Amino acid sequence: MNNIRKHFPVCKNYHYFQSAGLSPLPDFIFQKYVSNYESLLNEGDFRWKEDIEQLKNTYQQIAKHLNTEAENIVFVENNSLAMSLIGLSLLRKHEKFNIVSLEEEFPSNSVPFEYLNIEMRYVPHQQHRYSIESILQHCDQNTKAVVVSYVQYSTGFRLNIEQLGYELKKRNILFVVNATQAFPLFPIDMQKYHIDVLTCSLHKWGFCGHIGTLFITTPDFRKQYPTPIAGWFSVDTSYHNDFIYTSKNKPFALRTSAQQYQFGSYNIKNRIVISDVLNFLTGIGTENIIQHIEKMTTILIQRLQDSGINLISPVNNFFERSAIVSFTIGENKNTELINFLKHKNVIVALRNNFIRASVNIFTNEQDIIALCNGIESFLQQHT
Ligand SMILES: Cc1ncc(COP(=O)(O)O)c(C=O)c1O
């Protein structure tokens, strides 16, 4: 993994534990952006069709990673929009229903539905864990969907989505998974886990900045719940000789693929870079990535426990761990510690009043030593 580090200039500046906020760009992705924008500079629209082809290939690549089909994949602006689309679709079809979700979810999983006046039922956490039984207990005959994050943003708790998907399928309840804090580090099998809708805001672990959210729906979902809003690009133009739909006041059909959610123009030059990221990660290998993340979190957890720090993340079960480790030294001292660490070039974040440290493929033991030494010297100065 040492070779990986040289691709991340951020490592020269900081001990960076804030990838759950945004993973820094590797140098080759930065170069890709530069060459993509040079093309806009020097050639304008000339390569647009090539870019469209590249995006189609990118969808295929993503599809392989998630065991789904390219036609199910689209990008939308952000996770909040993706969830709003789901909420609107459900409202068009059903009158009285509820959605079950988890108490500590990131608000993009709750605000869009609450704003639409959909009844939300939040499962309370038990030491920041959620058992499958407790989630199922909150479902009743009016539950149309369960909306959960694969990995919780503030605690790193990783849910058993395979088991939950299996149970929801039996009950005919839609399974909506926000994979923002997991993909592409942790593999996901959409078919095996019976996921109806998967979202993922790629700026977290996608190493490519703010390029939007993956919004992946099954053909069944789209059939039952077609997009609640549309734009010119949503229209099926396969029977026309122009890709732009120009008729007025005539009936039209929507594309059956997830491209119905594409609505209109978008920043294609940004979106195609995820292809290079996936090639890079595939080159490292999923097993190696997971092993490295586990190794780094294990060292960090051990050091924090040795120092008597109060861990928030549930860490006893390996399968519930992710790249995020959260802890607290007391609500009124956490912010002070974060600022203290910043002066030592150690970057962590405050989330839900906890200190969140996330390790990444470029994290090494020296980073962890810097973080833990920083915490210890803060504690020595403040006791
Ligand atoms: C689990 C999770 N989902 C979604 C988001 C982002 O939501 P959006 O794409 O609406 O900004 C975040 C963090 O910002 C997150 O941690």
Range with the poorest average pLDDT among 88-97, 118-127, 220-229, 231-240 = 231-240
The number of distinct structural domains making up the chain is 2
Pairing mode of beta strands 98-102, 119-123 = parallel
Rounded distance from Cα 362 to ligand 1 centre (Å): 22
Residue 220: exposed, middle, or buried by beta-carbon count in 10 A (0-12, 13-18, 19+)? Answer: exposed
Q: What is the pLDDT of residue 370?
A: 98
Q: Give the pLDDT band (50/70/90) at residue 241.
A: confident
Rounded distance from Cα 214 to ligand 1 centre (Å): 12
Q: Give the pLDDT band (50/70/90) at residue 382.
A: confident
Residue whose Cα lies nearest atom 7 of ligand 1: it is 79
Residue whose Cα lies nearest atom 3 of ligand 1: it is 180
Is residue 60 domain-shared with residue 158, that is, in the same domain? yes
Q: Which domain holds residue 176?
A: 30-280
The mean pLDDT of the chain is 97
Q: Position 13: which residue type?
A: N
User: Is 252 within 8 Å of 245 (Cβ atoms)?
Assistant: yes
Rounded distance from Cα 203 to ligand 1 centre (Å): 9
Name the residue among 227, 232, 214 with its Cα closest to residue 257. 227
Is residue 255 domain-shared with residue 297, that is, in the same domain? no
Rounded Cα distance between 198 and 65, Å, is: 13
The pTM score is 0.97
Rounded distance from Cα 204 to ligand 1 centre (Å): 8
Name the residue among 76, 188, 78, 205 with its Cα closest to residue 153. 205
Among 280, 312, 330, which residue terminates a domain?
Answer: 280
Rounded distance from Cα 102 to ligand 1 centre (Å): 15
Residue 161 has pLDDT above 80, yes or no: yes
Is residue 234 domain-shared with residue 307, that is, in the same domain? no
Q: What is the pLDDT of residue 240?
A: 79
Calculate what percentage of the chain has a pLDDT beyond 90: 97
Is residue 118 domain-shared with residue 247, that is, in the same domain? yes
Is residue 89 domain-shared with residue 230, that is, in the same domain? yes
Among 280, 298, 331, which residue terminates a domain?
Answer: 280
Is residue 296 domain-shared with residue 259, that is, in the same domain? no
Among 280, 299, 317, which residue terminates a domain?
Answer: 280
Rounded Cα distance between 340 and 207, Å, is: 27
User: Is 380 within 8 Å of 29 (Cβ atoms)?
Assistant: no
Q: What is the pLDDT of residues 175-215, one digit of tens each?
A: 999 999 999 999 999 999 999 999 999 999 999 999 999 99
User: Before 184, cis peptide (omega within 30)?
Assistant: yes
Residue 383 has pLDDT above 80, yes or no: no
Rounded Cα distance between 310 and 292, Å, is: 24
Is residue 21 domain-shared with residue 71, that is, in the same domain? no
Side by side, which strands form the sheet with 349-351?
Answer: 310-311, 324-328, 354-358, 349-351
Name the residue among 345, 33, 333, 335 with its Cα closest to residue 210. 33
Residue 32 has pLDDT above 80, yes or no: yes
* Ligand 1 atom with minimal separation from the 20 CA: 16
Residue 196: exposed, middle, or buried by beta-carbon count in 10 A (0-12, 13-18, 19+)? Answer: buried
The domain spanning residue 321 has which CATH number? Answer: 3.90.1150.10
Rounded distance from Cα 83 to ligand 1 centre (Å): 11
Sign of CA dihedral 98, 104, 105, 110: positive
Is residue 241 domain-shared with residue 111, that is, in the same domain? yes
Q: What is the pLDDT of residues 328-342, one digit of tens each?
A: 999 899 999 999 999
Question: SS3 for 283?
Answer: helix
Is residue 164 domain-shared with residue 296, that is, in the same domain? no
Ligand 1 pocket, CB under 6 A: 78-80, 106, 108, 149, 153, 178, 180-181, 201, 213
Q: How many CB atoms lie within 10 A of CB 97?
A: 15
Q: What is the pLDDT of residue 259?
A: 98
The domain spanning residue 71 has which CATH number? Answer: 3.40.640.10
Name the residue among 336, 320, 318, 317 with its Cα closest to residue 328. 336
* Ligand 1 atom with minimal separation from the 83 CA: 10
